[in-house]
Amino acid sequence: MTLTAATPAFAESLRPHLPARAFRDPEPRYLEEPRGRWAGQAGVIVAPETTAQVAAVIRAAAEARVPVVPYGGGTGLVGGQVMPDGPAPVLLSLERMAAIRAVYPRENLLIAEAGAILSDVHDAATAEQRVFPLSIASKGSARIGGTLATNAGGVNVLRYGNARDLCLGIEAVLPDGRIWNGLSRLRKDNTGYDLRDLLIGSEGTLGVITAATLKLFAQPAAEGTALMVVDSPAAALDLLALARDHLGEGISAFELMHRTGLQFLAETLPDIRQPFATPPEWFVLIDLGLARGLDPAEALERLFGAGLEAGLVSDGLIAQSQAQRTAFWEVREQIPEANRRIGSVSSHDISVPLGAIPDFIARATARITGLGEFRVNCFGHLGDGNLHFNVFPAPGRSKATYAGQRGAVQQAVHDLVHELQGSISAEHGIGRLKVSDLERYGDPVKLELMRSLKSLFDPAGIMNPGAVLRQIQASF
């Protein structure tokens, strides 16, 4: 039995279960994605207000074999939130389930509905002198359900882990409409299989997360930031090891940047203050969050001194004020915007084993150079082995002139990542963008298991069809 489109008749079948305001107009925002690669479609758009209403929608969709596309903030970069072809789905927006249900400061956790916006979760934590550390560029519009569905990363993974690590439990609606209440507030619970981590990162293909218990942390007593010039990516790795010897888990972020990033900022965002008089080839941003009794600026000076002695760093800037910290971070945070303005031929969100990073950067750059005239801007979360290796037109040339080369660029990068036992999607997920890549590079046994799990959870194949796994025609 094949899937069928969400028709007006299907919408009618939902009316007994949903208030009238839950039916949404087809505003363009629901059908766009940030990179503009796909146009989505939707036969019906609903925004339920309760978990029971979500379950009613899914049950109806399962009965009618209507595809369901769960929709959070719409900020995903791999097309997991748009279904461009096939029968028009019911788009299930979580935007009206945006409550922070409860905050437990003593337990260092809160319970948020899937539609809660990431920055609202930050604010709820701050109000109790706590931190929810997951932070990504789209935090003002990304919603918790989506960050969990894609196991989002960001700049604090080094210290606090990714979305999966920050979640104690979830409530979810399964593809047959059953509600699983796994909203645990427990730090330790060894009673059976880990279903939470199976749904987290499954990009809406195994069910819809409707709420989550999220871990909070004590606010660091003091924070500090430095930019340090390193000789090479290898020196940056050694500096990271040195920093860990000095400061253990006090390192909140360790980000690598290249001169090209500074050049792109100068070209496209000239108001951003350039930190160095002479832009260095490679430099790192180090962010600390320390316990009471330690002065971050002193700790960074000691680290810089040790790095200088070890021949790892040659220059450095230590923020002397919160304004300077913000300025240093702005350099890092505006690089993606500068990239967007330059316009990439191909972007790659990859990870490799930490020790393979220098080799990866050297060989990937050589392979790209061998393909033609390009500019490479490589930057990212060095401490996580996660680089954004982005390829741009040579100066004066337009992106359009490279249209025929994008595939070759991407394959050159991904083949090398695979050789080095890396991942072709470190933090963005598979979505619809990387389905073929997963098939090409993924472990065959893992892929077989994933397909089996998909069939087990969602035999009719209604949940986000075509995301993560190529759509298999359901027949039974």
Q: Which residues pair with 389 in a beta bridge?
A: 378
Among the listed residues 85, 194, 281, 419, the single contact to a copy of itself using CB under 8 A: 194
DSSP state letter for 43: S
State the number of CA atoms in the 13 A half-sphere of 364 facing the CB.
Answer: 32
Tokens of 161: 């882990």
d(CA 439, CA 105) in angstroms, rounded, equals: 44
Residue 97 C-beta: closest distance to a copy of itself, Å: 19
Q: Are the C-beta atoms of 129 and 231 separated by less than 8 Å?
A: no
Site for a copy of itself, residues 69 to 98, rule: CB under 8 A: none
Count of residues that bind a copy of itself according to CB under 8 A: 96
- The dihedral formed by the CA atoms of 332, 333, 337 and 342, expressed in degrees to the nearest 10: 0
Question: What is the per-residue DSSP string for 343-376?
Answer: --SB--EEE--GGGHHHHHHHHHHHHHHHSSEEE
Q: Residue 255 is which amino acid? A: E
Tell which one of 135, 202, 260, 464 touches a copy of itself (CB under 8 A). 202
Binding of residue 44 to a copy of itself (CB under 8 A): no
Q: Characterise 110 by phi-psi region: left (phi > 0), alpha (psi -120 to 50), beta (else).
A: beta
User: Rule CB under 8 A: which of 158-187 touch a copy of itself?
Assistant: 162, 164-165, 174, 178-182, 184-187
Among positions 24, 63, 104, 231, the unique one binding a copy of itself when judged by CB under 8 A: 104
Binding residue for a copy of itself (CB under 8 A) from 21, 190, 270, 321? Answer: 190
Angle between helices 233-247 and 357-371 (to 10 degrees): 160
> Can you tell me which of 107, 231, 359, 415 binds a copy of itself, judged by CB under 8 A?
107
Q: Pick the closer one to a copy of itself by CB: 57 or 272.
A: 57
Residue span binding a copy of itself (CB under 8 A) among the ranges 100-108, 133-141, 257-265, 405-413: 100-108
- State which residue, 72 or 153, has the beta carbon closest to a copy of itself: 153
**209, 215, 219, 220: CA torsion to nearest 10:** -110
108 binds a copy of itself (CB under 8 A): yes
CB-wise, 265 or 450, nearer to a copy of itself?
Answer: 450
State how beta strands 44-46 and 90-93 pair.
parallel
Among positive and negative, which fits the CA dihedral 194, 198, 201, 204? negative
Q: How far is the CB of 263 from a copy of itself (least distance, A)?
A: 27
Q: Could you tell me the sign of the dihedral formed by the alpha carbons of 300, 302, 307, 311, in that order?
A: positive
In the region spanning residues 433 to 462, those forming contacts with a copy of itself, defined by CB under 8 A, are: 434, 438, 441-443, 445-450, 452-453, 456
In this chain, which of 43, 67, 201, 307 binds a copy of itself, going by CB under 8 A?
A: 201
Residues 293-352 binding a copy of itself (CB under 8 A) are: 293-294, 298-299, 302, 351-352
Among 43, 175, 316, 422, binds a copy of itself (CB under 8 A): 422
Please tell me what DSSP assigns to residue 191. Answer: S
Q: Per rule CB under 8 A, is residue 426 in the interface with a copy of itself? A: yes
Write out the binding residues for a copy of itself, residues 371-400 only, by CB under 8 A: 381, 383-386
User: Residue 376: phi, psi to the nearest 5?
Assistant: -110, 130
Q: How far is the CB of 27 from a copy of itself (least distance, A)?
A: 29
Question: What is the nearest approach in angstroms of a copy of itself to the Cβ of residue 162?
Answer: 6
Which residue's CB is nearer to a copy of itself, number 102 or number 327? 102
Closest CA to 180 of 198, 166, 165: 198
How far apart are CB 103 and a copy of itself at their closest, in Å? 11
Q: Which is nearer to a copy of itself, 21 or 106 (CB)?
A: 106
Segment contacting a copy of itself by CB under 8 A, of 50-58, 63-71, 314-322, 428-436: 428-436
User: Which residues in the 260-299 window bind a copy of itself by CB under 8 A?
Assistant: 289-294, 298-299
Residue 400: what residue type? A
140, 343, 355, 395: which one contacts a copy of itself (CB under 8 A)?
Answer: 355
The per-residue DSSP string of 271-295 comes to TSPPS-SS--SEEEEEEEEE-TT--
Q: How many residues does the chain have?
A: 476
Give every CB contact of residue 134 below 8 A, 6+ residues apart in sequence.
118, 147, 152, 154, 156, 160, 162, 163, 166
Tokens (6 digits) for 353: 């084993």
Q: Which is nearer to a copy of itself, 1 or 447 (CB)?
A: 447
In the shown chain, the binding pattern of residues 216 to 255 toward a copy of itself, with x for contact by CB under 8 A and - for none, equals: -xxxxx---------------xx--x--xxxxxxx-----
